[in-house]
Structure formats: C-alpha cells, structure tokens
Chain A
C-alpha cells in the first residue's frame, strides 16, 4: 500500500508540475528572467504555483502532521514521520543552493521536471538527467570527505 501511495503521489505531483508550467523550461526562464518586466514579457504565474502548493501543504502540516509527530504518532502507512532533524544554517546549505540556482537559471530545469520530461524520450533531457545524477554522485563523494556533513533537507 505504501508503494502504491508513493506512485499515486508521484502522479499527482508530476501532473501538477506539467499543468502549472513548472515543467516547461521556457516558462521557468521567462519567470526567472525578471528583466523581462520592462518589456511586459515577464511571466509571474509560477509565483502562484508555489503559493498554491504551500496553501495546501502548510496548514495540513501544521494541523495534522506536526501535532501527531510531537505526540509520537505516525503517518497512515508508516510507523513514524521521517522529518529532517538538522537545524543549523551552514555553508553546504548555502553553497549548494547557490550552485543549484546557477544550474536552474541556465536552462530552467530542476530535478522534478527533469524526471517528468524524461517521458519525452528526448536526447537533451536524457543528457541533463545523466549529468544531474553524476553531479549528485560527486556531491555525495564531496560530502563524505568534508568534515561538515549535511544529509537530508
């Protein structure tokens, strides 16, 4: 059941990415490139995507998940919630986010849309995903040799 639910959540999430335009690199770039504002070409709609997703996530998290987790209760199909415990804002977090922002701003593809768009069987997206996996692997190696380790968000 747990795995079936993961599949269902993936379908919902992916459909949302496609519908919202977040899976469309051209749209992402026309959102990130705020210099388009002066010509009236800026596309602010992706702002709404995040707001709308948070409008669903935040209240349910605060009203259901957080109180249950504090009371040592678990989710429906698991014994406990797997929540990140790290609190400190450290260099890996900031440097990693900056590198990610750089890559995202270059072509407008982040990990979720990259996977969704694999369905197009296009060589360019396959190259991107391969490079992304290699980058992730290098990142893991790097984290292992550095004294400060930061696993999970």
Chain B
C-alpha cells in the first residue's frame, strides 16, 4: 500500500504545478470540465485567432496519455492503466458519462476546477461542491461495488 504513496505525492505535485502555472502564466483556472466546455461551445471574443487555447491544454492531456505511460511505469513502477480490462458495461458508461457531463456543467466544475483550483483559492463554493461530490461519490461507490 505504501508503495503507492510516493507516486501519489509526486503525481499530486505535478497536478498542482500544471494547475498553478496555468494561473500564473495565463491567468486561467485549470478546470477540465470548464475547459472542455469552452473549447466546444463558447469561444471568447478576445480569442479568435487560430485554435482556442483550451484545445492546447486538452492536447497536452492527450499527449501525456499517449507518451507518459511507459516512462512512468519504468521510473515509478506504477501499474499501467487498462480501461478495457475493467469491462464496464455500455449502459453504465453512458449513464455515468451523462451524469458527469451534466453535473459538472450545472455545478460549475469537477474534481480539478473545484477540488484543486477552487479549494486552492479558498472559494467557499468550491469547498461545498467538493464536499458534496466526494460524499455522493463515496456513497455511490459503496452501494454499487
């Protein structure tokens, strides 16, 4: 169990670093649901040249998914992620995906936007949202697993 503590701490450090750099350099909240939503549907008037910055951030996420698996495995001995092996049923994937997309949009954020950037700004809204989704997440996981 303790072997997962070092990757967790260092992984958290990288998440925090990526998030705060986006704020310090570009003045933006690293909330993934908000970034995805803005990339798809709401282009700002000030940002009309070329591809919106949100796509670059999302591209960065994808690049890490494509390239970082092997090095992380080699250096930190973390288990590779195998989504297919989880064999989650199709209705379950669709229902949970819908709920996540709907919930994050209505609730103005997800784990990253509220849990890290929001709490990291000591925003009362984000503290409440994080407590709510953690609580409901815990209850749901207990009931369904």
Contact = CB atoms under 8 A, between A and B. Distances in A.
A19 B61 contact: no
Q: Is the interface of B mostly helix, strand, loop or mixed?
A: helix
Contact of B65 (A89, A102, A120): A120
A67 interface: no
Nearest to A119: B65
Contact of B137 (A32, A43, A133): A32
Contacts of B117: 57, 153
A70 interface: no
B56 A94 contact: no
Secondary structure call for the A interface = helix
Contacts of A122: 83-84
B16 A153 contact: no
Residue among A56, A61, A92, A95 with the most chain B CB within 10 A? A56
Given A24-B79, A132-B97, A18 B65 contact: yes
A69 B109 CA distance: 22
A48 B8 contact: yes
Interface of B: 1, 4-5, 7-34, 36-37, 40-41, 50-51, 53-54, 56-66, 68-69, 72, 76, 78-79, 81-84, 86, 88, 90, 92-126, 128-130, 132-142, 144-145
Interface of A: 2-26, 29, 32-35, 43-46, 48-58, 60-62, 64-66, 74-78, 80-84, 86-89, 92-112, 114-120, 122, 124-125, 127-140, 142-143, 150-153
